[in-house]
Amino acid sequence: MCYAIPGKVEKIEKNVVTVSYFGEPKKAYSELPHLKIGDYVYAQGGYVLELISPTEAELILSGWKETFFELKKKDAQLSQLDPNQIKKTYFHSLLNKVTNQYHAEGALVSHQNSVLTREEKLFLLQLEHYKDKELLYKTANFLRQTYQQNSCCVHGIIEISNDCGQNCFYCGIRAENHHLKRYRLSTDEILSACQEAIETYGFRSLVLQSGEDPALTVPYLKELIYKIKARWPVLIFISFGEIGLEGLEELYQAGARGLLMRFETSNSRFYQRYRPGHFLETRLAHLKKAYECGYLIITGSLIGLPDYTPDDILNDIELAESLHAEMISIGPLIPHPETSFANQPMVNEDMVLKTLALARISDPNNKILVTTSFETLSPTARQKGLLAGANSVMLNATPLAYRPFYSIYPKRAHEKESLDQQIEETIGLLKLLGRAPTDLSIGVT
Ligand code: 5AD
Ligand code: SF4
């Protein structure tokens, strides 16, 4: 299965190219030398990754053409918003404001000129009536379809080590959990996991993740990234925690192009309390530096920390946006029995859905992830999340034998499913919802 379809280069302006997908233009950065108009390429996450031969491209595209338009049609049907549903209460007037903005301007907006005030957003986040929540999700889904069409980003993640020197209160792989068997994949194991994901299953972007493992030094990680990039044209996201600002630069030079790093919480008091010895400022400095280096940023937070409020959630959304997140990852805290939060009440599913919907309403241009933690909370979370504004999912490409040990929280979704099973399930759901398992939306303006 392939997670990117080939596009045809239509225009080249310095290092930004316009790639056409069945007539739908998207922009992407290109680092490929000698690219010409008319060439076929694979692009992912806003980067042109690989040139492919016209024969191969045309063959793949002929298989996709019908499905491409069928999926679009289905998605457009499912995300329609009946104007009669939006009536005349205060709540409805807010939704009208959001949807009218698109119709009035006919153009894309960003959070800087978001139509809703903070109070209005807070009001939406605190809706309780079943029907109101449903309509909120539908509005978010409508905006998702309007601004991002039906593309759904499918990343693969490989968890290369569960060793960690930190002691975040919420996390099951914290250093002081002495009941956990630790593992670190060898370079060969990492390369064969990459090989399986890329060559067998067609992934074009992979997240490499670990705890803050002191053995995974920057020189080691650099070598690893060189090796992967030398073998495959794949978009690599790094997620190794705070590797230092220079570390970020070095791994970028080695070929990494994305950073997955949550700031965990926008509340600096919580941050200090729950990540002992650490400061939010340092985290944010990493995220800012990464953006300056040119990394694509995936960031966000945990919701459900003790004493958090809807205000905190809104701050989280706004902080993620201000950090230039190309994808927002906000998921629920799942209490882990070996942590101080063992008895913390579980976040309710609607709170997560309202958060995803608010993130979509707040900035309709973002990609929004249905996190694995949300999927762990409920078996229908993925579907519900994708219908409440989200448009990205993450599959687990870690070798099966190691997965149970990456237990940041217990009974993680996909812990026991082979990559094959996860793909089958994902494709089935995306087809049902009219989404294309491609990464066509590109954040270059
Ligand atoms: N529940 C949900 N997410 C968690 N993380 C850590 N512990 C938990 C938990 N108990 C998340 C953090 C971290 C990511 C790797 O895992 O947000 O950034
Ligand atoms: Fe380590 Fe990250 Fe877990 Fe904190 S959240 S203990 S840094 S793996």
Q: Can you give the pLDDT at residue 46? A: 79
Residue 108: predicted pLDDT:
46
Tens-digit pLDDT profile for residues 319-353:
999 999 999 999 999 999 999 899 999 999 999 99
pLDDT at 389: 96
- Residue whose CB lies within 8 A of the most ligand 2 atoms, among 166, 238, 240, for a mutation test: 166
Average pLDDT of the chain, as a whole number: 90
Decide: helix, strand or coil at residue 299.
Answer: strand
> How far, in Å, CA of 239 to CA of 254, rounded?
15
305 CA from centroid of ligand 2 (Å): 15
Whole-angstrom distance, CA of residue 13 vs CA of residue 341: 52
Residue 28: the pLDDT is: 86
Q: What is the pLDDT of residue 434?
A: 94
Choose the residue to mutate in 161, 168, 170, 286 for probing ligand 1, maximizing ligand atoms within 8 Å of C-beta: 170
Quick check: 207 and 258 in contact, CB under 8 A? yes
Q: Indicate the top mutation candidate among 213, 408, 412 to test ligand 2's pocket, ranked by most ligand atoms within 8 A of CB.
A: 408
Say how many Å lie between the CA of residue 157 and the centre of ligand 1.
14
19 near 25, Cβ under 8 Å? Answer: yes
- CA–centroid distance, 140 to ligand 1, in Å, is 25
From 82-91, 143-152, 230-239, 252-261, the region with the lowest mean pLDDT = 82-91
Q: How far is the CA of 28 from the centre of ligand 1 (A)?
A: 31
Give the tens place of pLDDT for each residue, 389-419: 999 999 999 999 999 999 999 999 999 999 9
User: For residue 442, what pLDDT is reported?
Assistant: 35
pLDDT tier, 40 (very low <50, low <70, confident <90, very high otherwise): very high
Whether the Cβ atoms of residue 146 and residue 432 lie closer than 8 Å to each other: no
9-13, 170-174, 217-221, 367-371: segment of lowest average pLDDT:
9-13
- pLDDT, position 104: 52
Which ligand has the minimum distance to the alpha carbon of residue 408? 1
Q: Are strands 205-210 and 392-396 parallel, antiparallel or unpaired?
A: unpaired
